[in-house]
Amino acid sequence: MTIAATFLGGAKSRLLPASVPFRFFGAAVLFHPAAWAVLAWDAEAAVGFTGGLGLPLAALHLLTLGVLAGTAIGAALQMLPVATRQPLGAVWPARLAFWLFLPGVFAVGHGMGALHLWVLVPGGLAVSAALALFGWLMVDNLRGAKSLPIIAAHGWLAMVALAALAVLGLLLVFDFQSGLLQDHTAAARAHLILASYGFMGMLVMGFSQILVPMFGLSPEPPVLWGRAALLLSALALAVATVGAVANDVVLMLAGAAIGLAAAGAHLWTMAAVMRARMRKHLGLSFLLIRAGWVLFPLSILLGALDLLDLLGPRGGTLFGFVLLFGWLLTFLLGILQRVLPFLASMHAAKAGGKAPLVSALTAAMPLKVHAICHAGALVLVAAGIVAESPVILRLGAVAGLVGALAFAAFAAEVVRRMTGWSLGRTQK
């Protein structure tokens, strides 16, 4: 039996109201072009960005909070209850979390970009409250997740990382005003590790154990390699975070080495799933997903080379771009263009009987435009950083903006077709 059959058994009974996950997905789709636009606006500062308030930091957080976290929250709120076969404890905290999250991310982006600490601080508090509500819902659900131990363990690690990064994030926000941290750079580095490889990385690796086999119609992933990837990831995260806080290059390099082994074990697991799949043609989404798999270990390697001072003065900037815009954004956009019509189909069926085909809810042309523009954006922005050229970087960011708008058109069409199908079936 494929994992799709196991995963989907009784899934309709655990569906949240469509407005809950789709609001977070909608926020992610909204912040996606905003992140590219802000990056393009101040390309001169972005070329050599290594930290500090300004538009590059605003673009970074519009991406990490708005797009990456927004996508992760929407997916986890819906997918985890289906995977664990138990409904979410309550829906109201998820709704409240969104109404804290949306204005909070706007305030954080504005406060960082305009240097308005009086906006940044309340925005950071609102986002932290939203993440706390999300974490509470996830922990409550994970406590009963006994049938999927590897996925649940990834979820627990993600929640630990979320708690730590939220505390560090608030300390960093207040530090801009009060200077309470002894080493702001070290704390920011630990915050980045916990946010990217911790919270987001653990969710990506954990849900890949379900979503990749489900979309490929594959059997369950190899358990041994999945456990190896999990244990190595936990060790790498702990070592690298301690090294970052202590500003210890040796520890951070050790964490990177262990992280490369973890990435290798995870990718070996995914390769086994892909070899065993029954669906041979997986479309554009899996081109993005495969690109994300390549960029995952590359980001770790670039981080290690930067620590060894082998990438020059722009090495840290290149590492951050490949990590966030490269691996995480590319992979999540590949997953999101599968998840959106998939969930839309399930909600349309719940409202009106027979489910429409996923392909009937998908507009292909915007996805083609997005894939071309996103690939161009990654190449051009990376080239702009290496060449220290704001012009090349701005061209790449504009390409990313065009691609993000095309992706927004795809998402809007999914919602339009889902709504039309549901209303049509209900009226019949």
* Separation of alpha carbons 388 and 66, rounded Å: 27
pLDDT band for 290, please (50, 70, 90 cuts): very high
pLDDT band for 427, please (50, 70, 90 cuts): very low
Contact 313, 48 (CB under 8 A): yes
pLDDT one-digit tens code per residue, 117-143: 999 999 999 999 999 999 999 998 888
pLDDT of residue 175: 86
pLDDT of residue 219: 84
Q: Look over the chain and give the mean of its residue pLDDT values, rounded to a whole number.
A: 89
Q: Which of 95, 105, 84, 89 is nearest to 32 (CA)?
A: 105
Segment among 30-44, 53-67, 274-288 with least mean pLDDT = 274-288
pLDDT one-digit tens code per residue, 373-398: 999 999 999 999 999 999 999 999 99
Query: Comparing 38 with 347, which gets the higher pLDDT?
Result: 38
| Helix residue ranges per DSSP H, 115-247 | 117-142, 149-178, 184-193, 201-216, 223-246
pLDDT of residue 344: 82
* Separation of alpha carbons 24 and 16, rounded Å: 13
pLDDT for 328 beyond 60:
yes
pLDDT of residue 123: 95
Q: How many angstroms separate the first and last alpha carbons of the chain?
A: 35
Average pLDDT over residues 172-197: 89
pLDDT one-digit tens code per residue, 255-273: 999 999 999 999 999 999 9
Average pLDDT over residues 147-162: 89
pLDDT of residue 144: 73
> What's the angle, vertex CA 392, arms to CA 388 and CA 395, rounded to 5?
145
Q: State pTM to two decimals.
A: 0.93
**SS3 category, 161:** helix
Segment among 47-56, 191-200, 352-361 with least mean pLDDT = 352-361
pLDDT one-digit tens code per residue, 64-110: 999 999 999 999 998 888 777 777 778 899 999 999 999 999 999 99
Report the percent of the chain where pLDDT is more than 70.
92
As given in the structure block, the two tokens for residue 377 are: 């954006």
pLDDT band for 18, please (50, 70, 90 cuts): confident
